[in-house]
Amino acid sequence: MKKSKRGRKLRLLVIASIIVIVVSVSLGLRNVKTSEEEISEPEEISLNLLISNELSNLEETKKLDSQIERFMKEWQIKGASLAVMKDEKLIYSKGYGWANEEAGVRMEPSNILRIASLSKLITATGVMKLIEDSLLTLQSRVFGEGGILPFPADNEISDPRVKKITIEHLLRHQGGFTLRAGDPMFSTTLMSRRLKLDTVPDNDQIIRYCASGRLGFEPGKGTRYSNLGYVILSRVIEEVTGDSYENYIKEAVLKPAGITDMHLANNFYEERYNNESKYYEPSNEPLVEAYDGSGRMVQRCYGGNNIKDLQGAGAWVASPSELLLFVASIDGKDGIPDILSKRSITTMTTSTPQKLPIGWARVNSSGEWSRTGTLSGSSALLKCQKNGITWVLITNTSSWKGARFPRQIDNLLKNGLTKIKEWPERNLFELKILP
């Protein structure tokens, strides 16, 4: 066993060295300037360019691979991607099945996928950064006179409880917004009718409409999951920073964590990123009318919903490996430097029966944290286990179980990972080239 491990470490080192040489030469050529020009610094290289399935073809994980492949066949999943981190070391990253079956493209760990509500963890981190920078507090009021957002106007707010909504209320899904009239972020056609618009409503129009109406409960006195709440937080970030939500997150959150290949999703197939997986739905899923009012019939995962405008509620695309690099930067552990203070991390991972954690979906006293995400065409689950193992698995195919499907993923990985008694001693994060 020891000999095998040494062999793998040697092979990894050789591969990494080759990658470093190739990428370095490429960067050097790209940055060659005339003597009159300023020589630029080399660009940071995405982890996604440095990892491949070949690096995770391990003897120790053959049974796990077989379990995942059987699971995908049973649930008719076209493609999936799994990354595993142990004690802040990336020890496994592998794609399964197809990134694009029709084009004959296999899933690789370099493929990025929609992560749905895992996006809320990223947004929450951005808000906590603003709090650390003294640009916000958890008690900052969002609406009304003295609030952060300039709309709706104070006299447009019909329910005075709206003026009590704070940043913490939105972070913990306690803002008072309910789904009794449907989710406004997934009902653009209905919102257009309510607002008497001939076009798709933008987020400001949706926020203004919802904040002008009556709440379902007193802010802070109840909990109802709210995509709208995290869209409002996205808009708060823009108002406070004077920057776009996406750019602020990339510069203030992702870049310090060493992440370069995470982006806001686009809506239609032809708008996907070069290394983005294709998305699939169950074979019997009917076409729906496009969200943009064009009247064309589309797959729900490609135009049925306005995913891009979900922003911080559910619009990010990422690879599992870079997601784990992000988690390692907000977990409070020694090793990879955190981008948040321990106080902020503790605040995010503290919950009570009356209060959800911030960004995370579930935390418990044993130190397990998790976050799920589901959209048409994708499903994701991120889990930090008490044994030091953190993993994320993302599929590019919807399940008829919808939001309940991550539970099936959890059961799969809980069973599969426990059978691996010894992981190889390595860290694929070390492949990353820093400027």
Q: For each of the chain's 435 residues, which pLDDT tens digit applies?
A: 444 444 454 455 445 544 543 444 333 433 333 334 344 445 678 899 999 999 999 999 999 999 999 999 999 999 999 999 999 999 999 999 999 999 999 999 999 999 999 999 999 999 999 999 999 999 999 999 999 999 999 999 999 999 999 999 999 999 999 998 889 999 888 899 889 998 999 999 999 999 999 999 999 999 999 999 999 999 999 999 999 999 999 999 999 999 999 999 999 999 999 999 999 999 889 999 999 988 999 999 999 999 999 999 999 999 999 999 999 999 999 889 999 999 999 999 999 888 999 999 999 988 899 999 999 999 999 999 999 999 999 999 998 787 788 889 999 999 899 889 889 899 999 997 544
Q: Is the pTM of this model over 0.85?
A: yes
Taking the C-alpha atoms of residue 256 and residue 42, their distance in angstroms, rounded to an integer, is: 17
Q: Which residues pair with 394 in a beta bridge?
A: 81, 380
DSSP string, 331-348: S--SSSPPSS-HHHHHHH
Q: How many CA atoms lie within 13 A of 240 on its CB side?
A: 26
309-326 core/surface letters (b: 16 or more CB in 10 A; e: else)? bbbbbbbbbbbbbbbbbb
φ, ψ (nearest 5 deg) of residue 305: -130, 155
Taking the C-alpha atoms of residue 71 and residue 77, their distance in angstroms, rounded to an integer, is: 8
150-167 core/surface letters (b: 16 or more CB in 10 A; e: else)? ebbeeeebeeebbbbbbb
Task: Tell me the three state secondary structure of residue 100.
Answer: strand
Dihedral of alpha carbons 322, 328, 329, 335, sign: negative
